Amino acid sequence: MLNIFRSYSNFKFNRIEKQIYQNLFQVMKIISQATLFFLCLSSPLHSKSRLGEYFLGFGAFRAGGGDVVEVKGDSLNLSANSPASDFADFALSFNYGNLEDNATEHSLWSLNLNYVMHFNDIHTSAAMFNPYAGIGLGYMNDASGMILGDDGMTWALQLGSEVAFTESLSMNFGSSFFGLWKDLAQTEFSAGLGVTWWINETHGMAIDYDYTFGDKIDYLSLSYLYSWR
């Protein structure tokens, strides 16, 4: 009787032990698959980008901060991007809004055309880098005089890099040095970062933050992107 009980106990223990190992194996299998999945996501061979794509952008800006006086404002933004070649784009943007200081509201609009050169993709184990550099021309009508001090034709130099983490998610680190043609002493430098999420091949969303070091103004924007390629 005792031997039968021992045999039954050993059999039951072996079944429990086997079940535990099976469960552990399933857990390890799931963890391994999830790890492989995220590694694949973090090493994209090709990803949708704001560089080298045809798209239209519709966005809204909020501004705040200021060096001497507190500044706040709102702006609407329309943009269009079109490849000029395999390694360069034309980027057109139009902004219209207002800036307010000391309870006085001033209108502001600008039109800019940039030629942006993007270099070969640099692949790493964690992401794909796409450095870029650009030059631009534009016109600014600033009734407040708070951006560059006056209205007129503007120039711009750009430098940055887009970092793709997945096929649909990327981050942009960029800087811009810009000023007035008629007064080269009137210049400004800005730097910022942005996150772009392509919901699918056609629709996307972008959040961008920029900071101007001269005027000490923060800009935060939310944009909808429509791509037809």
List the structure tokens of 200: 């699918």
80 alpha-carbon distance from chain centroid: 16
Q: What is the per-residue pLDDT for 71?
A: 80
Percent of the chain with pLDDT over 70: 75
- CA pair distance 174, 188, nearest whole angstrom: 14
* Cα end-to-end distance, the chain, whole Å: 78
CATH superfamily placement of domain 55-227: Autotransporter beta-domain (2.40.128.130)
Percent of the chain with pLDDT over 90: 46
Q: What is the per-residue pLDDT for 98?
A: 87
Convert the pLDDT of each residue in 150-162 to its tens digit.
888 999 999 999 9
